[in-house]
Amino acid sequence: KAGGAYVPLDPELPADRLAYMLEDSGVSLVLTQPHLRAKLPVGEGVDLVDIDAAESADERLGASLANPEVEVHGENLAYVIYTSGSTGRPKGAANRHVALHNRLAWMQRAYALSAADTVLQKTPLSFDVSVWELFWALAEGARLAIAAPGDHRDPQRLVELINEHQVTTIHFVP
């Protein structure tokens, strides 16, 4: 909406990896929470905004209810997700709006999500599947049930969430 791309940062990652990702991506603004702030090895020129302090964030970001006057095109960057780094340093996979749109349009044609559905968002935000879980549900007007960090590692907790929220759609990586 504002024309910027996002880079999800997993607070469970080592500080040196987070520092590399912040530097490599050129992030200038990090939205965070007080309990995570100390884990962020930010350098100069990176602005930290506490999203729990709404008045402070609104004031610092110049928040407004009006839509910003920003043109966003399909070729603009939407997000960057870093690889696991299994072959050395992690690499940022840059994804454009058109690529995200194409993936979500394919998913909608294949699975026809509706407002009657509930999607379980259980994938860590630093993994690409989380993008599809979040934006697909929101774009189609479906409910979004958000699992707590770490719930994806506990099969019993996933079953509880599926039952509790009457989840109709969930994405598992084979």
Cβ proximity of 133 and 171 under 8 Å: yes
Question: In this predicted structure, what is the pLDDT of residue 35?
Answer: 86
Residue with tokens 């910027």: 4
Cβ proximity of 48 and 40 under 8 Å: yes
Q: Are strands 47-50 and 92-96 parallel, antiparallel or unpaired?
A: unpaired
Q: Which two tokens stand for residue 64?
A: 């407004």
Q: What is the DSSP string of 78-137?
A: EEEEE---TTSS--EEEEEHHHHHHHHHHHHHHH---TT-EEEE-S-TTSHHHHHHHHHH
Question: In this predicted structure, what is the pLDDT of residue 116?
Answer: 97
Domains by residue range for the chain, with CATH: 1-96 (3.40.50.980), 112-174 (3.40.50.980)
| Cα angle 157, 159, 165; round to 5 | 100
Q: What is the pTM of this model?
A: 0.81
Reported as a single tens digit per residue, the pLDDT across 27-45 is 988 888 888 888 888 878 8
Q: Cα(140)–Cα(143) distance, rounded to whole angstroms? A: 9
**Low-confidence residues of the chain: pLDDT under 70:** 1, 54-65
Question: In this predicted structure, what is the pLDDT of residue 144?
Answer: 95
Q: Which residues contact 2 (CB under 8 A, 6 or more apart)?
A: 68, 70
Q: Cα(89)–Cα(14) distance, rounded to whole angstroms? A: 13
Q: Cα(94)–Cα(79) distance, rounded to whole angstroms? A: 6
Question: In this predicted structure, what is the pLDDT of residue 58?
Answer: 56
